[in-house]
Homo-oligomer: A and B are copies of this chain.
Amino acid sequence: MTEQPLRLGVVGLGRAFTLMLPTFVRHPAVRLVACADPRAVARDCFVHDFGGRAHDTVQALCDDPEVEAIYLASPHQFHVDHVQIAARAGKHVLVEKPMALRLEDCRAMIASADAAGVHLMVGHSHSFDQPYLTTRALIESGEFGAVRMISALNCTDYLYRPRRPEELVTAEGGGAVFSQAPHQVELVRLLAGSEVRSVRAVTGIWDSERPTEGAYTAFLTFANGAAASLTYNGYGHFDTDALSSWIGEMGQVRDPDGHGSARRVLRTVKMAAEEAALKDKRAYGTTVTAATARAQTPPVAYNHFGFVLVACERGALRPMPNGVEIYGDDEKRFEPLPAPDVPRREVIDELVAAVRDGRPPLHSGRWGMATVEVCLALLRSAAEEREVRI
């Protein structure tokens, strides 16, 4: 790589940032040069880790001439304002999912990026994960005929990980539909290779102490006739990593005997404030730093999002964390994917290809908006107990 690394400014040094940190510290094509965050400890850590500048405001960060593109990992509700600030400052934006909570916000974000002539990308989502991209390439090879049915099932302890209070309020972007469904919706959209036409869903709010969606199950149809079944359950009971040889969402080795651990940790805190503090303790600048990210055991496999099975007319494809299981009419085989050198490198690769080479990203603003539309339809279908057309 002869080009200079892409100079990235970071808005929000919270949970999403910590999940991208192993990527940032390892990917040669990107360099963090500036940040903005309300937490002083996080800002100080950033300057210590990356030698960049910590700004007081998002505006100041976006005005920083050193910054080429913004990684926007502020809470959902700020995405629309922050994207507009960045775009007006002429900066490309990678905004975390969910892009926004309302379609009009998505439209405003797209319009501002278009007007400024900058790229707007949405991610990370698990539709970036290489096993799904490889599965899509296998579908496009034509060897297996048209894609017809997709099954996606993910069972985790999502709801019992430490949360800030607003993460447990659906109207503020909390809950599994806004936070987890984007992953599943995007990966089935990627695999179907078509746009969603209808959604029928049921959501689950089963724990009165955490009164937001912890689970959903949905049936999607696509313009090309394919259908997908999506189920997510974040109540910490069954764990679909059991079906992936205990390789976790981040490609890490998991302990099969860890059942119930999220709930046990959570029981040690008594109040919402304590829980938020528990979350902060795991945030960037305290226990997580560039050094800890560099020292992390490298993932043994790719990121993934649970059990996924794609039925084509002449074959079935099962993306796994370390490759793709391929079931044809006559033979079955395994297409291995060696463990990635840089976790989630696919996100930065797509961003750099857009900014440096002008290659339109798959995960564009319009792509992200279509996902928000499906998530909103999912909530509406559950509330109105009927199929919702898109």
Contact = CB atoms under 8 A, between A and B. Distances in A.
A329 B238 contact: no
Sorting the interface of chain A by its residue count into under 10, 10 to 19, 20 to 34 or 35 or more gives 35 or more
A52 interface: no
Contacts of A315: 237
Interface stretch (A148-156, A288-296, A346-354): A148-156
Contact of A202 (B151, B221, B330, B386): B221
B311 A259 contact: no
A238 B326 CA distance: 8
A231 B313 contact: no
A198 B229 CA distance: 16
A136 interface: no
A91 interface: no
B316 A260 contact: no
A202 B227 contact: yes
Interface string A239-255: 10001000000000000
Contacts of A316: 155, 233, 235, 237-238
A237 B327 contact: yes
B236 A329 contact: yes
B237 A227 contact: no
A260 B329 contact: yes
Contacts of A221: 202, 385
Given A153-B309, A237-B329, A243-B243, 19 more contacts: A148-B202, A151-B231, A198-B200, A200-B387, A202-B225, A206-B313, A217-B227, A229-B229, A233-B311, A233-B316, A237-B315, A238-B309, A238-B318, A238-B327, A259-B331, A259-B332, A260-B328, A263-B329, A387-B387
Closest A-B pairs by Cβ, 9 of them: A219-B219, A237-B316, A202-B227, A238-B316, A237-B327, A206-B313, A387-B387, A229-B229, A260-B330
15 contacts: A148-B206, A149-B215, A151-B153, A155-B311, A198-B385, A200-B219, A202-B226, A202-B227, A204-B311, A235-B311, A236-B329, A237-B315, A237-B316, A237-B327, A264-B330
Interface of A: 145, 148-149, 151, 153, 155, 198, 200, 202, 204, 206-207, 215, 217-219, 221, 225-227, 229, 231, 233, 235-239, 243, 259-260, 263-264, 309, 311, 313-316, 318, 325, 327-332, 385-387
